[in-house]
Structure 1
Amino acid sequence: MESALDYHTALRLLEWQIEMGADEAICDSPIDRYALAAEVKAAPAPVRGAVVAPVPKAPKIDPVAEARKMAASAGDLAGLRAAMAAFEHCELKRGARNLVFSDGTPGARVMLIGEAPGRDEDREGRPFVGRAGQLLDRMLGAIGLDRRSDDPGRAVYITNVLPWRPPQNRDPNPEEIAMLLPFLKRHVELAKPDVVVLMGNISCQAGLGDRGITRLRGQWAKAFGAPALPMFHPAYLLRQPHQKRETWADLLSLKARLEDKE
């Protein structure tokens, strides 16, 4: 009767097998793969007329309906932010660093709605930062408004149509706008501004269902249940500084509207 291999002999044999290229353990007895293939071919075909249970499909989720439900459940701005953070049906969220919810003072008379976060906004988690934000602050300061003020008469509250940055700063597509529009509507309802400023084409599309900012700017309309003034986006003014004259006229119109409501 042969004696069992000792530990060191077995280890050397195993190392030798590894050196020879053996890298997978096998069964104690051989398996005839050809016989297995024949068994599969010989398996009985389904009986004609037999009822085959369908594979259940996962229920299809309507992201717009889901957004409406989640937005409606938010009782305050903190709850709305939490609902947006929990919304998992927008692919933009997966490529963004931060949820860009708002800046400024809740309860301010003026609510600015921008388009979508850019690189700086995505990094800091606040809307309208960087060069466009600096220009916006100067524009607001020219008519006595300040996003950092605690005085509701001078304060400004700011958000965007989309809370997540689109890749390469591309324009949001209609599906993304429609998906996140319920959150924006609820945002305005909870903030309760006296007037809304729609900055840029995407904001006008979301609030007015229309585009063409050069045609719409300066004309008061109604969006989200509040008086709304379309204006050029500060980023556009950085590229087209000759349009600042029209923007100054829009700012004066905004100032006059606020003074009429005092």
Structure 2
Amino acid sequence: MRASIEWHQLVGVNEAIAPTPQNRLAVKQPPADPIPLQPSPSDHTHEVLASPKTLPRSSDQPKKSAIELAATANTLSALRRSLESFEGCTLMKTATNLVFADGQIGSKILFIGEAPGAEEDREGVPFVGPSGRLLDKMLASIELRRSDVMISNLVFWRPPGNRTPTQQEAAICMPFVERLIELVSPQILVPLGGPAAKSLLGQTQGIGRLRGKWYNFETSRTPYPIPSTPIFHPAYLLRTPMQKRTAWSDLRLIRNKLNSAQHT
């Protein structure tokens, strides 16, 4: 025993770990089984509330209906009737009138804006307000009349408060817009503003970077790729007159393209 104590002192063990000595070789008694705790009602309620719930998936039916209705329209009047019978866009619930298009099949240029405004909603005709009057002047500056072109929008009903259409609203209306372009078959397609340019041309950049360049628009039913160049929306030019010089440059680009198409 004395030798053991001396050895512990030699290796540095000079105090007891516990106040009383313990027999480490004794057989330990197994602990008694714990009393199981019953879950309280509040614990169960918390578990139920915390469990994730599966949310219903949004339906693609409105888009499917739009595709089917648009595909069956072989004239502009038939396409308008399809839109009048379509119930998949919530904008129609707050709008006064359907705002379809203004122009004829065979128009040289097709302008696609963003959405109808208050005056367009009242009259059921696109671009009849201040933006429309400026657009008429822009056309006149390159020797075109309103009767020479076709004008429409990404959506056919006015959004509440003249807000920008949502991506879902534009996507639901897109089959009708594409069918309109196919039926008109213009020489040039001109998106007005950033939202129209992004939706029609599949681009992500802003209008400031997209303008002044040519792109191709085509669907499975267009006989050929349609040259397309986006320009500033007239409403933007009314708010930002300093950009009118840039807009004039874009209009001359369109005029030159139209002239070259007529000579080929």
Which residue matches 2:207? 213
Code of the residue aligned with 2:119 in structure 1: it is D
Which residue matches 1:19? none
Which residue matches 1:28? none
Answer whether contact 1:220 1:229 (CA < 8 A) is retained. Answer: yes
Query: Alignment partner of 1:121: what SS?
Result: helix
1:106 Cα deviation (Å)? 2.7
Which residue matches 2:253? 253
Whole-Å Cα distance in 2 between the matches of residues 83 and 238 of structure 1? 34
How far does the alpha carbon of each residue in 1:145-171 deviate from its partner, in whole angstroms, 9 at most, with x for none? 1113xxxxxx01111110000000111
Whole-Å Cα distance in 1 between the matches of residues 124 and 60 of structure 2? 28
Code of the residue aligned with 1:255 in structure 2: it is R
Code of the residue aligned with 2:261 in structure 1: it is K
Q: RMSD of the TM alignment (CA)?
A: 1.6
Which residue matches 1:234? 234
1:203 aligns with one of 192, 196, 202 = 196
Larger radius of gyration: 2
Answer whether contact 2:111 2:151 (CA < 8 A) is retained. Answer: yes
How far does the alpha carbon of each residue in 1:29-81 deviate from its partner, in whole angstroms, 9 at most, with x for none? xxxxxxxxxxxxxxxxxxxxxxxxxxxxxxx5621111100000101111000
Whole-Å Cα distance in 1 between the matches of residues 195 and 73 of structure 2? 24
Whole-Å Cα distance in 2 between the matches of residues 111 and 141 of structure 1? 15
Gaps of 5+ in 2: 1-58, 219-224
**Correspondence list, 1:88-107, <5 A:** 88-107=87-106
Query: Alignment partner of 1:104: what SS?
Result: coil
Whole-Å Cα distance in 1 between the matches of residues 247 and 62 of structure 2? 36
Answer whether contact 1:105 1:147 (CA < 8 A) is retained. Answer: no
1:223 Cα deviation (Å)? 2.1
Whole-Å Cα distance in 1 between the matches of residues 129 and 62 of structure 2? 32
Given the two structures, how large is their TM-score scaled by the length of structure 1? 0.73
Whole-Å Cα distance in 1 between the matches of residues 227 and 244 of structure 2? 23
Which residue matches 2:127? 128
Gaps of 5+ in 1: 1-59, 149-154
Runs of at least 4 residues off by over 6 Å: none
Answer whether contact 1:71 1:186 (CA < 8 A) is retained. Answer: yes
Whole-Å Cα distance in 1 between the matches of residues 60 and 136 of structure 2? 41
The worse-fitting range, judged by mean Cα deviation, of 171-180 and 208-217 is 208-217
Residues 146 and 69 of structure 1: CA distance in aligned 2, closer, same or farther (over 3 Å): same
Whole-Å Cα distance in 1 between the matches of residues 92 and 139 of structure 2? 30
Percent identity between the aligned chains? 46
Aligned length: 199
